[in-house]
Structure 1
Amino acid sequence: MKRLGASLFALFALSACNDPGLVGVRGISEATAAEVAGCTLITNIRMAPGVYGPLLADQGLRYARNMVKDEARAAGATHVVFDLQRPGEPVYEVRAGAFRCPA
């Protein structure tokens, strides 16, 4: 039984290490609307951060932004443009456009 518990813990730890929301996403760049003016819009993506509040809001926002980037990359995008957020205001939804730009 101990061996099964250790194996499950190791499996969970390895899967967390590969979670793009935790480790970030390569192969996709953040851009401004002006920078993607000549690019093709692939899709618009929305995601709610999983946690809120004074202690975990930043981690929840970072996770949601990374997951939006991963979804955009999976859709074939090369760049994402996040909607602007007002500094200091809580974020209840992360919104971004996913674009494919020529190389």
Structure 2
Amino acid sequence: MLFTDGLVEDRDRDIGTGLGLLRHNLSEVRGTTPEETCRAVFDAMVTSRARDDIALVAARANRLAGDQAAEWDVPFDPAVLSAVRAQCGRRLQDWDWKTSASPRS
């Protein structure tokens, strides 16, 4: 699970409380798909008054073959994110991985 701080903290919820809430919500969705996990956590934690950007990514871990690892040095520049996302997608296609990743709102 990867997430931005907007998921777990805001003006009315400190980060410790938010992380505890996240742990609780994740314990409630064991055995679900990554998409179901994201939807359930998002629905449980994000209020209509959220003012910060929120990103949430869940992935199922699988044992990888030795040649199925990739590493990129990514500059601290939001302008490169689209290119990095495309590189990741191409690498997954090269490995013949099927993904169902899509942005959620």
TM range (shorter): under 0.3
Bigger proportion of residues as helix: 2
Task: Give the TM-score taking structure 2 as reference length.
Answer: 0.27
Bigger proportion of residues as strand: 1
Higher relative contact order, structure no. (Cα contacts within 8 Å, ≥ 6 residues apart)? 1
Structure with bigger gyration radius? 1
Task: Give the TM-score taking structure 1 as reference length.
Answer: 0.27
